Every structure is written in C-alpha cells, then in structure tokens.
A and B are shown apart, each in its own frame.
Chain A
C-alpha cells in the first residue's frame, strides 16, 4: 500500500498554522492539576521539597502542558484528534509557577493512506524564549470540521 503526500487537501495546506494558545500557569493551577490527576509528586506541590531539587522551585506537571497541547488540537480538529489522533512529544524544560505557556503549531505533512487523509503537525510550547515541549501530532482530516485559524 502506498502513501501519497499532498501539498493541499480542500482548504488545508502544508504550512497552515494551528490556533495558538496562551495559558498562564500558577501554583493554584498546578495544585488543582495534582488534585485532579492524583499526581502529588512533591516536586510539583511542595515548595520546600522542590528547593532541594535541580529546579530549585516547584514545576508544573509535564502532562498539564500536554493538556494545553490537546486543547489546541481539540479546537482545531476535534474529530480527528479524539478519534485516532497520535501525539509524540519530548519535554525540554520545566514550566514554573508564573510562566505563560504558548502553544503553537503548523501542518508539515498531508498524507493520503488507506483511503483517508492525515495531517501531521509540528508543535512547540514556549515559556518566553524557552522551549519547554516539542513534538508532533498526527490526526485524520475531516475537512468540513476543521477550524482554520
């Protein structure tokens, strides 16, 4: 079975940007995520313990940052993301209380395979100039349900 790459499919083109998200993270949000997720690693919620680590202060759960990435993909392409979406990311640096996380991304590949169209998106999360998360997501494209930026 062969895969065919496309530069464009319907109104979607390689290079299209995903809707950007900016989210301020504070200790209250980190605590709420710890409560919701049950991940009470003291690195996230105990400032005294966190001082003894290489970070010197509490940091947000990496998976909280991924929740922001998922919000972007859900807004852009809920159907394709929630039903068959795949995410591969690397955590590059910590998110500290007070940071604003900026999630951005763009379509870098459109591919036809198995009679379906898939888009691969390059994603990056910044806190100021720092890259904190980087990776890619692939999801099926249902062109009529896309929210173009």
Chain B
C-alpha cells in the first residue's frame, strides 16, 4: 500500500472525521498485544470484579495508531513525543472509535513535525483515552 500522505498536504485544524476508524477490542487482539509486550500485569490475567476482561492501558497505542493510518506518512517517519490520558482501560467486547485532529505543523532542525490530538470513545460514547502524538514525518511525496 503506498497511499501515504505528503507533509505538504497536511493542514492545521484538519479533523479526521471522514471515516471514523473502528477498533473491535477482541480477546485475540488483547492476547497478541500482551504477548508481544511481555505484560504480566495480574489484573490482565483475570476478569475484574464486574466479570470483564480488561486490556492493558497502552493498547491505546494500537487503536490510536490504527486510527491515524488514514493519515500515515511515508516510510521512515518516527515518533517524537506522546501523551496519553487513560480514563479507563478498554474492555474486551467493546468497539472503539477514534477521532483525530491536526493541531500543529512545524519545522525543527529541517525536519517536518506533526502534532495530532486524538480522542477515543466506545460505542456508547464513553470516553476511554485522549492523546497527543508528535511525529517527524517521513521523507517522500
């Protein structure tokens, strides 16, 4: 897939509402993430008091980045800064919707930076995570 977004086509204030990305929180996705990150947090190994299976807070990295894929830069871009606020862990079985907005574009040391705000809610509109990601955009058109 080569439909990368060029830095010069990005606009401050642009909101990614055209196709709100959907992320189904499945046990398989959570298990894969836990395995890949070596997470052995006790609270993730069993259901909580309400009988729910919780996901690691940092699963946000997966559903947020997936949501930003519609605005992915060319290969070689790197992550410079990250902010997350976790209102609660994602729960297996729920569906998450992440919206995003370009907050700021700037050049620093000849590198193009992009700051994006994200907000993730579930199917009932409950706020799960907000964040701000700063990326150095990859080279290329």
Contacts and interface: CB of A to CB of B under 8 A. Distances in A.
**Chain B binds chain A:** yes
Interface in B3-42: 29, 32-33, 35-42
B127 to A, nearest CB: 11
8 contacts: A42-B75, A62-B79, A67-B39, A68-B38, A69-B58, A82-B54, A83-B88, A91-B79
A87 B69 CA distance: 22
A43 B57 contact: no
A64 B35 CA distance: 12
A32 B35 contact: yes
Contact of B41 (A38, A75, A86): A75
B57 A81 contact: yes
B24 to A, nearest CB: 13
A88 B86 CA distance: 12
A35 interface: yes
B86 A84 contact: yes
Contact of B65 (A38, A85, A91): A38
Contacts, number: 118
A36 interface: yes
Contacts of A39: 65
Q: In the complex, which range does the number of interface residues on chain B fall in?
A: 35 or more
Contacts of A71: 37-41
Nearest to A42: B75
A91 B43 contact: no
B51 interface: no
A43 B80 contact: no
A66 interface: yes
A23 interface: yes
Contacts of A84: 85-87
Contact of B61 (A66, A82, A85, A91): A66
User: Most chain-B CB neighbours within 10 Å: which of A33, A63, A91?
Assistant: A63
A37 B87 CA distance: 21
A83 B78 contact: no
Given A74-B43, A89-B82, 19 more contacts: A29-B36, A33-B36, A36-B32, A36-B33, A36-B35, A36-B36, A37-B65, A38-B62, A66-B82, A70-B39, A70-B57, A74-B56, A78-B43, A82-B86, A82-B89, A83-B86, A86-B83, A86-B85, A91-B78
A90 B80 contact: yes
Interface in A30-79: 32-33, 35-39, 41-43, 49, 53, 61-64, 66-71, 74-75, 78
Contacts of A83: 86-89
